[in-house]
Chains A and B, each alone.
Chain A
Amino acid sequence: MNNIETKFYNAFIVNDRWMLYVKGLGVTLEIALFAGIIGIIIGCIVALMKLSEPKKGRKHTLWWYLATAYVDVIRGTPAVLQLLIMWFIVFSTSKNGVLVASLSFGINSGAYVSEIIRAGILAVDKGQTEAGYSLGLTKGQTMWEIVLPQAFKNVLPPIGNEFITLIKETAIVGYVSLSDLTRAASQISSRTYEAFMPLIGAAVIYFILIKILTLLLEALERRMRRSDLR
């Protein structure tokens, strides 16, 4: 028992080591938040590019080809390689690690978000669009006023899912010497030569963080469903 107490003390209390986890959590959240925002912006644009309607006689628009190439490349390569490429090749002289990581994860997440949003838009019944046109709305108005609000409700659960994945995916930023929550656990176990406490500690912090996020998402979904019950 005493042994466990010592391990706990070494992993969290001594030299204010808990501050390392807190700072690491800060970095994790910062990267996940920026990346999430970048991902949603890219995702919306790319989804609309993929849904753009081609001229008569063509199969796809130029936008469609660009968007498809982007999604293919991003989904076809591991996130950790994308991060290493961004850090060591593309932005090899940038000193702002959080920014490089956020961009890297944002561009990565955008590919997945775009597919989620595309699916959400396609899931809205075609009759809704037709009804919009028959009421004299333009294409843009129909999309903005009728299709997107319904699509938003469709995509909320998978977007939440994607954001949760994103938070956990940031655990690889240790590869480029950023000190996120996972890295904080490695740093401490490299000091104490004891892996149990730091790893379990970091896992518990991730779990609590994501549990809170899940509850918030559920509340938001409930709010969105109110209009279903008329």
Chain B
Amino acid sequence: MKKIVSIALTVALMAAVVTGCGSDKGAAAGGASGIDSAALADGVLTVGTNAEFPPFEYLGDNGEPDGFDMALIKAIGEELGVEVVVENMEFDSLVSAIGSKIDVAIAGMTVTDERKQSVDFSESYYNAVQHVLVPIDSTIATYDDLKGKTIGCQLGTTGDFIIEEIEGATSQQYNKAVDAVNDLANGRLDAVIIDSNPAGVFASKYPDKIKDLDGADFDFEIEEYAIALPKGDTALQEAVNVAIKKLKDNGTFDKLVDQYMQ
């Protein structure tokens, strides 16, 4: 019996080695895309996301990441002629994973100068402003009202950075935005700062507990969402920008907006 197992293992191992070599050869031949980019050399675009950010990305009913960003990057992948593989990971580790674990990241990510030091960005594909979720009976209405309050956010998001700047405010950082909203509903937090689209989704989940305030009333800056790309990979950047422009021109982009945002 043991012998059979060891033979089976040996066969499996050899099969793995052979297929491993096979895919190496595929890589050496260059991807199908014809774009001179190290990220696409294997014919696969590995995309990192954090599927905790509806409607841009969330886990669909089949357990796979779904949402506006996912549909957009798949359309871009089609334009580039590469296969898109999605890796779901923590938001705060996305940027540092580019170039090693993933090729690019699309996760409703705002273009910031700090991030630009580590990665390049595509053209922005969406404009958003941070929103403030507060308990339904809260008196918070302006930026000054947030001072000294306990405010929740998702670790490493724009909301996190905004709270850092607010005088005397305590930042409670969560792995998932939904956990922060949960704690807001439980009365642990005075406010939660997150992006406008998920804010609307969450507020509609707790209509009798939470209200959704527009960040424009708090003088938050308008942010641009873009795809994070490996630093210095101009060929890929150019190809992605061309693809985005094409999708906007041929109406695919607007169709996705209708499908996911409305």
Contact = CB atoms under 8 A, between A and B. Distances in A.
Given A92-B186, A95-B188, A194-B96, A186 B118 contact: no
Nearest to B160: A190
Contacts of B174: 177
A93 B185 CA distance: 9
A177 B179 contact: yes
A171 interface: no
Given A88-B182, A93-B186, A193 B117 contact: yes
A139 to B, nearest CB: 48
A158 interface: no
Interface in A91-134: 92-95
Contacts of B90: 186
A175 B156 contact: no
Interface in B149-180: 152, 155-156, 160, 172-175, 179-180
Interface residues of A, number: 19
A191 B114 contact: yes
A18 to B, nearest CB: 17
A189 B173 contact: no
Contact of A195 (B96, B115, B187): B96
Q: Count chain A CB atoms within 10 A of each CB in B117, B119, B152, B188 and give the residue with the most.
A: B188
Contacts of A183: 173
Contacts of A175: 175, 179
Contacts of B95: 193
Given A93-B186, A177-B174, A186 B155 contact: yes
B93 interface: yes
A187 interface: yes
A48 B187 CA distance: 40
B183 interface: yes
Interface of A: 88, 92-95, 174-177, 179, 183, 186-187, 189-191, 193-195
Given A186-B155, A190-B160, A195-B96, A174 B115 contact: no
Contacts of A88: 179, 182, 186
Interface string B92-123: 11011000000000000000001101110000
B145 to A, nearest CB: 20
A141 B187 CA distance: 51
A174 B175 contact: yes
B155 A187 contact: yes
A174 B179 CA distance: 12
A179 B152 CA distance: 13
Given A177-B172, A177-B173, A195 B93 contact: yes
9 contacts: A95-B188, A177-B152, A177-B173, A186-B155, A189-B92, A189-B93, A191-B114, A194-B96, A194-B118
B92 A190 contact: yes
A195 B94 CA distance: 10
Contacts of B118: 193-194
A189 B96 contact: yes
